[in-house]
Amino acid sequence: METFPDVAASEGKQLIEVTTDVRDVADPYLSWTKQYHGAAIASFMHLLDSRVSRVIIPSSYADDVHIQCGSHSRLDPLWSSSRLTFEHHKLGVDRVEKMRAVADNPNAMKHMRVCVENLEVYNCGKCEKSIRTMCNAAAAGVSDRLQALPPVTAADVLAMPLGKPTAVVYHVENLHHLRNLPSGQRRPDLEQAIEARLAEYERVAA
């Protein structure tokens, strides 16, 4: 597998790697997802403002009204300074649509990394985030292009850890797009499996 600098160079970009212990310090007190990952990104980038003038922070949700999130469309631009502009990109696009948008980029489909559960491997293919990303690809109709993860099965979904309640919206998005695929691409097995897991989320939350 190519190194990340090689991948960046092939896209005409320069890779700048940042190492930090911010999560070791802050996680005992704050939620990375709900409260401070946007602030962490902003702090890193201000340290690089002699080399970077524009930062694009990808949206976590297609619609973040009434959503508590450390990165938010109303908050992210406020990290800007006279030297550095922050852009939240963008509302109205869910993760299935994002998958479809990058599907023609071989680097994106080969090197996409989503797993945060098992850092000893590139993507474990078993954690909740890996499996819902595999479902993203199926719902976008591009499973055959995603080399970073295997094709998803209904058994994968049924064995998937429930994950955080905030993940529910992503499974709902996947289900919506799966139901709207052309008839020849439909995956009733995945639809039924996701429906079953969503029902389980509801039972746990009740």
Task: Please say whether the dihedral angle defined by the alpha carbons of residues 34, 97, 119 and 12, taken in this order, is positive or negative.
Answer: negative
The structure's pTM equals 0.91
Q: What is the pLDDT of residue 1?
A: 47
Contact 155, 74 (CB under 8 A): no
Q: How far is CA 181 from CA 2, 4, 173, in A?
A: 34, 34, 13
Give the helix ranges, DSSP H, for the chain. Answer: 4-10, 22-26, 37-47, 95-102, 106-111, 128-140, 154-159, 168-179, 188-205
Residue 166 has a pLDDT of: 82
Q: Tell me the three state secondary structure of residue 136.
A: helix
Confidence at residue 164, expressed as pLDDT on a 0 to 100 scale: 82
Nearest to 87 by CA among 42, 122, 49, 126: 42
pLDDT for res 2: 59
74 C-beta neighbours (distance < 10 Å), count: 9
Q: Is the dihedral of CA 62, 65, 67, 71 positive or negative?
A: positive
Q: From the CB of residue 184, how many other CB atoms can be counted at a distance below 10 Å?
A: 6
Q: Position of tokens 């852009």? A: 87
SS3 59: coil
Please give the average pLDDT of every successive group of 10 residues along the chain, which has 206 residues: 81 92 96 95 96 96 93 97 97 97 96 87 93 97 96 96 87 97 95 96 85
Q: Are 45 and 53 in contact (CB under 8 A)?
A: no
pLDDT (0 to 100) of residue 163? 81
